[in-house]
Amino acid sequence: SAELNPAILPLDWLLGTWESEEPGEGCFPTINPFRYIETLYFSHVGQPVINFMFNAFHAESKKPLHRECGFIRIQPGTNRVAFIIAQNSGLVEIEEGELTGQQLNLQTHALARISFAKEPHVQQISRVFQLRPDGRLEQTVSMATDNQPLMQHLRITYHRSS
Ligand code: HEM
């Protein structure tokens, strides 16, 4: 396997496969609360880039639901991080933010969607990834839509599976 590019060394704690333990919790004022399971893959090929895929499934039916994939870059010599994201819902997005220790705080920097995307449309996303002292990874996602202000949609913790 390729040697890690030193540019992404500050994010090496993400690399590998992560699986939810307890199901994650989904909510939003306009929907019924739900539970989901999710697998995250972070990999690299020696470029100053991390490749990722997130695959979520309904906790009870195991039906595939939300999917995202993309790339992560870090501005060399800084703690500025960018996620370049495509979502199966028809959303594409750039999130930017800062790496502080082993916590990433990201916010939508640019967003576009397919012309026939389901409504209500997402207007803003903010998310946090945090490697906890117990070795678990935690992700929380908040979003604003056409008719709701920024509010939590997702919260989940993962353990490293490889
Ligand atoms: C609903 C966005 C991730 C499961 C929604 C809605 C939006 C949305 C806009 C509709 C809200 C409304 O009707 O007012 C997003 C975005 C995500 C994301 C931007 C990622 C950044 C996920 C994930 C799951 C999930 C990981 C896990 C399975 C659901 C479910 C609903 C929902 C079950 C309610 C039923 C439905 O409308 O399909 N999401 N979502 N979402 N989301 Fe997400």
Please give the sequence-ordered ranges of beta strands (E in DSSP) within the chain, or none if there are none: 16-20, 24-26, 34-43, 50-58, 64-74, 80-87, 91-100, 103-113, 122-131, 137-145, 148-160
pLDDT of residue 1: 80
- Taking CB atoms and a 6 Å cutoff, what residues make up the pocket around ligand 1? 26, 28, 30-31, 34, 36, 56, 65-66, 120, 122, 125, 141, 143, 145, 153-154
Query: What pLDDT digit, counting tens, does each position of 37-57 carry?
Result: 999 999 999 999 999 999 999
Query: What pLDDT digit, counting tens, does each position of 29-40 carry?
Result: 999 999 999 999
Tell whether the model's pLDDT for residue 162 goes beyond 90: no
CA 85 – ligand 1 centroid, Å: 15
State the number of CA atoms in the 13 A half-sphere of 114 facing the CB: 9
Tell whether the model's pLDDT for residue 119 goes beyond 90: yes
Domains of the chain plus CATH, in order, are 6-160 (2.40.128.20)
pLDDT of residue 146: 97
